[in-house]
Structure 1
Amino acid sequence: PHCMTMAQMAHGLTGVMVIRETEDPGFDADQVVNLRDFRLDDAGAFLPYYTARGAARGGTHGNVLTANWLQAPVYDHPAGGLVRLRVVNTDTTRIYKLHLSTAQSLIIAWDGHPVAVELPLPSAKEPLLVGPGQRVDFAVRMPAGEGQTAELLAELPGQPTRTMARLRSVGADLARDLRELKPLPANPVARPDLANGEVHDFVFGWTPEGGPPNDGYCGSMGYSFWSINRTPWAGDAAKGTGPLAVLERGKSYVLRLRNESPNLHPIHLHGLAFIPIRSNLRKLPPLVTDTMLLLKDEVAEIALVADNPGDWAFHCHVIEHQKTGLAGYIRVV
């Protein structure tokens, strides 16, 4: 939900919609894992879903981590079979550092789009960062032996590696091979003309000198900590709040995203798909996506074709940041 967002999501109102390919890629099974954490007391009752201190920093983490609302659930799939593991982070705050226990796997899709380049498998030393609102699909070859498992693992600061979910082999060995899978068909996304892309700058950071909380429609947290281009979002019903940028339909654009805070921000754009093209801190694979996880002090450029007219929300998917100012919209005319 995008009304009363923080309260409703913190209490569990999130889900996953799967849109399958017209032609079956060749998997034997499909498994969705929805990652969420919750703030609960010893009796299992909800604690306050955020703190002002957390909202002004990296966000308020929960103390109970779940996959599909369960702790370390186990899912049975054919031994030696090929499973499409769809991992979705619908948390309000937590940026997961993920990897699998098996090397018999591939990353095949990112944020709903097929991956056209080979990505390195994440590991405990170099886990995959998956921020709120982001999705990653793995192709996993199940172990051959009955009862053996392939595990989705998370690295947490100062804690042992945590198992988020287990895939358990059952039945006779199907002896499948990852090379048997058909490539996922590309989504119909227009490719930007980088040579002629008009540049727009966006600065993400704290609210200068504080600021009034938003107008309260669809929920106010009572604080204004964050801003885009040094202006906090005034609220969903505030009058006179214009777009962050106006893009002309059909034209190519480069959006330069500057993180002026020490916190990470998964910046999500509704209605349009884009391609990360460069960063001052790392090499960015050319993935089609709708969310850019900005690192501390990172300046990243993303490119897109403004091919979908309308007013499109542009916000941080750490919901505490979104609801305390780090939100706005882009207009395509």
Structure 2
Amino acid sequence: MQSLNRRQFLVLSASSAGAVLLSQCSRGQTQTVPKAPLSLPKLYTSKDGLLDLELEASYRQVNLDGKPTNLLSYNGQVPGPRLEAKPGDIVRIRFKNNLSDPTNIHYHGLHIPPTGNADDVFRRIDSGESALYEFSIPQQHPGGIAYYHPHLHGYVADQILGGLGGMFIVRGALDEIPEIQAAEQTFLFLKDFVVEQRQPMMGRMAGREGDLVTVNGQVNPSFSIPAGGLARLRLVNASNARFYRLALEKHPLYLIATDGHPLSTPVEIQELLLSPGERAEVLVQGDQEAGQYRLLNLPYSRGQMGMMGGGMMRRDRGGPGMMGRGRMGPGMMEGNDQDSPQTLATLAYTGQVEPQSIPQQLIEVETLPEPQTVRQFELDHGMVPGQGMVFLINGKSFDHQRIDTQVSLDTVEDWEVSNTGVMDHPFHLHTNPFQVIARNGQPVPYQAWKDTVLIPTGETVRIRIPFRDFPGKTVYHCHILDHEELGMMGTIEMKA
């Protein structure tokens, strides 16, 4: 079992400032009473090799934190239904768009074709239209968490901010490990909503965040673990732009999966940073005294920007642990508005079991061969005639008629992705997962599969991608979805 330091692979261990925050939070603040037990969305599971359901997107009144609220939703639920299938299963979704705008569905994290009725993000389903999604989960597909959400360019940020999204679970070998089977499974869908504000806290250039932060559509719900037992927390960052820097009071976290892929061995951490689109699974050991322990979202600044004389202005980050929070000047916009730890949910001990141990081995992570091709990608922003200030990849704003990158199947490539802008950007590649090889030229401490990786401002991350199957056209982009809408996206074509 491994233990990491603070900046490695974006799984953060507690710095002294972070530890002080947790200590002050535990001693000096009134304990927030959880409102209700954690609720779960309706579950659809595959039967006899088929996951078959109807899914409707609409604008309607739903129950959000116990209050009727008008939101965008799938099947009138926020979050949308939880879908579960196994490798080899056929998925058949009869989709109806009852929104006022066009939309589609992206199966973020599933390794399925980017064409036809599978995961074609260029597909347009107009208001009032129905469409069929049908595809097979590959036999070799890993078990883990995927995330379905709309992905029609020009509408995706508004639709996700408005409430659309849900979990897609693939059951696999990780679920069969005895210690994992014995753990209390808890699904945590992290999502913020614009409820009281007339406008979101930040504009599109910063990436919009809502004023109400929820877990499974609830504010500070409770979940439980028996004394001596294990909890398996299955986490999705389903927010448009908000980052979650997670810590559980008096409990280390044992990371067992990233972006729907198991690790080889658990990794002990004190904090976990999830940028938009990232998923993770952690184990929690019930070895503390009976009581209540808060799952906290610690402060994090994802960067600042300002308009000075028509251009962008870079801001230096602040002191350690606070990730550069500080006072903003006139015209500045900053990501993540919170200045103190925020309670997301509360863990309580109920009952007792024989002490359960953290597993020592999980699922071996494949070692990829050396790449045949190395490419460079630069994330930045700038002025484009006729468009104004936009976000760019390699100096270009997104154009759906342009192919930005062509790759050949049965090859391995390394991509060096550099962030020369003033805000952090989570970089997401559709269809093909990758492994992070190095960060700022330094090897990462362990192998793991990802499909979304955070590129902090001023840093360079090297990822290794095997292009093995599924010819066709798809995209890569910043998963702060306002930034994607404002141009930070490219089109990739995979050719046999």
Counterpart amino acid of residue 20 in structure 1: R
- Does residue 258 of structure 1 match 2:418? yes
Partner of 1:217: none
Cα shift at 1:105: 3.5
The question of 1:55 aligning with 2:208 is answered: no
3-state SS of the aligned residue for 2:264? Answer: coil
Q: Residues 232, 324 of structure 1: CA spacing in aligned structure 2 closer, same or farther, 3 A cutoff?
A: same
Residue 2 of structure 1: aligned partner: 151
CA displacement 1:73-130 (0-9 Å, x = unmatched): 11234333211101110100011111222335411111111122553412xxxx4321
Which residue is 1:178 aligned to? 357
What's 1:142 paired with?
Answer: 286
1:297 alignment partner in structure 2: 458
SS class of match (2:169): coil
Give the aligned partner of residue 116 of structure 1. 264
Kept in 1, the 8 Å contact 2:201–2:211? The answer is no
Gaps of 5+ in 2: 1-149, 300-324, 326-337
Cα deviation code 1:24-55 (max 9, x no counterpart)? 533332101111112222xxxx634585xx32
Q: SS of the counterpart of 1:315? A: strand
Q: Distance in 1 between matches of 2:444 and 2:457?
A: 15
Is the contact between residue 253 and residue 268 of structure 2 (CA under 8 Å) also seen in structure 1? Answer: no
> Separation in 1 of the partners of 2:165 and 2:475?
18
SS class of match (1:116): strand
Aligned counterparts, 1:233-244, within 5 A: 233-234=398-399, 238=400, 240-242=401-403, 244=404
Selected match of 1:26 from 143, 166, 181: 181
Task: Supply the distance in 2 between the matched residues of 1:105 and 1:331 (Cα, whole angstroms).
Answer: 39
Q: Hey, what does 2:248 align to over in structure 1?
A: 100
CA contact (8 A) 1:143 1:149 kept: no
For 2:443 and 2:218, locate their aligned partners in 1 and report how far apart those are by CA, in whole Å. Answer: 35
The equivalent residue for 2:372 is 197
Counterparts in 2 of 1:166 and 1:291: CA distance versus 1, 3 Å: same
CA offsets 1:224-245 (integer angstroms, 9 cap, x no match): 51111111013xxx4x311x21
Deviation track 1:164-207 (CA, whole Å, cap 9, x = no partner) reads 11222212x1032223x4743357x6x4322x431111111103
Summarize the alignment of residues 222-241 of structure 1 with structure 2, pairs less than 5 Å apart. Answer: 225-234=390-399, 238=400, 240-241=401-402
- Structure 1 residues 30, 265: closer, same or farther in 2, change over 3 A? same
* Distance of 2:347 and 2:182 partners within structure 1: 15
TM-score by length of 2: 0.56
Which residue number in structure 1 is paired with residue 273 of structure 2? 129
| Structure-1 residue corresponding to 2:433 | 273
Structure 1 pair 50/248, CA: closer, same or farther in 2 (3 Å)?
Answer: farther
Any runs of at least 4 consecutive aligned residues in structure 1 with deviations exceeding 4 A, and if so which?
143-146
SS at match of 2:448: coil
Aligned twin of 1:220: none
Q: Secondary structure at the match of 2:267?
A: coil
Two-structure CA RMSD over aligned residues (Å): 2.4
Contact persistence 2:266–2:362 (CA under 8 A): no
SS in 2 for 1:102: coil
What is the rounded CA distance, in whole Å, between the counterparts of 1:204 and 1:289 in structure 2?
19
Matches of 1:103 and 1:144, distance apart in 2: 8
CA-CA distance at 1:314 after TM superposition? 0.2
Q: Is the 8 A contact 1:310 1:332 kept in 2?
A: yes
Of residues 380, 384, 394 in structure 2, which corresponds to 1:210? Answer: 384
Give the Cα–Cα distance (whole angstroms) in 2 for the partners of residues 120 and 211 of structure 1: 49
Partner of 2:476: 314
Structure number, greater radius of gyration: 2
Going from structure 1 to structure 2, the CA distance change for 1:324 and 1:279 (only over 3 Å counts) comes to: same
Q: Deviations over 1:245-295 (max 9, x none)?
A: 111111111101011101000000011111111122765343211111001
CA distance in 2, matches of 1:134, 1:86: 11
Larger RCO of the pair (alpha carbons < 8 Å, separation 6+): 1
Output the CA distance in 2 between the equivalents of 1:102 and 1:282: 31
**Is the 1:133–1:291 contact (alpha carbons within 8 Å) kept by the matching residues of 2?**
yes
**Once the two structures are superposed, what CA deviation does each residue of 1:197-228 show, in whole Å capped at 9, x if it has no partner?**
31111111103x23445xxxxxxxxx751111
Shift in alpha-carbon separation, 1:117–1:10, aligned structure 2, 3 A:
same
1 CA distance for matches of 2:426 and 2:151? 16
Q: Which has the higher strand share?
A: 2
* Residue 449 (structure 2) pairs with residue 288 (structure 1): yes
Residue 163 of structure 1 aligns with which residue? 343
Q: Tell me how far 1:310 sits from its aligned partner.
A: 2.2
